[in-house]
Amino acid sequence: MKGERLGVVGALVSAVWAQGVWGGVGWFSVGYQVVTGYKPLQEVIQAKGFTMPVSVSVPTLGGGGGFCLGYVFVGGSGEAYFGGLLRGGGGGFRVGYPWRLGERFLLLPTLSVGGSAYSFVLRRAAEERSFGQAVDTLGGVVPRILSVEGAQGGLVLAAHYLFKQGGILGLEIGYETAIGGFKDWQAAGVRLTGGPSIAPQRFFVRFVLGGGRVLGPGDTE
């Protein structure tokens, strides 16, 4: 009887192993994102004569990786973003479901939880100046930078093409939003009190290039 039970358990484990997706991947990413959700900051700084659009679009640069453990993907990713009006970076933990489509495609819908930091570059509203004023101030006032950070979470959908040689090429799209308000402001390393609470949201797309090895149902090597 005991031997039969062990045989059944072994058969179930073998079946799970055969139907799951196993392996690991790592990648480098280049992307683009749109950030919104900072209207309270926009209202405050516009009242002071600065300009800020409703949303900011910036390029991103980063990477990530993880492991496919049968029916679960566990990994992480991070990136930096840089632009004329917004700079910063972030990263976090990702967990999801690895789904093989045929021999060459891997879908990775994942949930992400982590943190992000945003540095907003403030500029004065355009105004007419004399040539003498421009010379006296070396072209104008140095831009002011206000920074804030906090926790964010969201959803990322990735589609990877798996090359026979072990390389991967893919696309990721996703959305992340603040977990609680971002309100611990800093400027030039000095903590600021009484600042507005914002809830940043970001929509992004990333192109990824990397390598790894993933085995799905029917694969032996």
Q: Which residues on adjacent β-strands are paired with residue 202?
A: 35, 176
pLDDT block averages, 10 residues each, the chain of length 221: 53 56 94 96 87 92 95 96 92 94 91 96 68 54 81 96 92 96 90 93 97 76 56
**CA nearest neighbour of 22 among 59, 66, 60:** 66
The residues that bridge with 108 in the sheet, in sequence order, are: 158
pTM of the model: 0.81
Closest CA relative to residue 61, chosen from 96, 26, 90, 95: 90
Contact 2, 180 (CB under 8 A): no
Q: Which tokens go with 209?
A: 């290039």
| Residue in 210, 207, 104, 205 with CA at minimum distance from that of residue 161 | 104
Structural domains in the chain? 21-215 (2.40.160.20)
CB 179 within 8 A of CB 121: no
* Angstrom distance (rounded) from CA 19 to CA 74: 18
pLDDT value for 16: 52
3-state helix, strand, coil in the chain (%, to 5): 15, 60, 25
Q: What is the pLDDT of residue 19?
A: 63
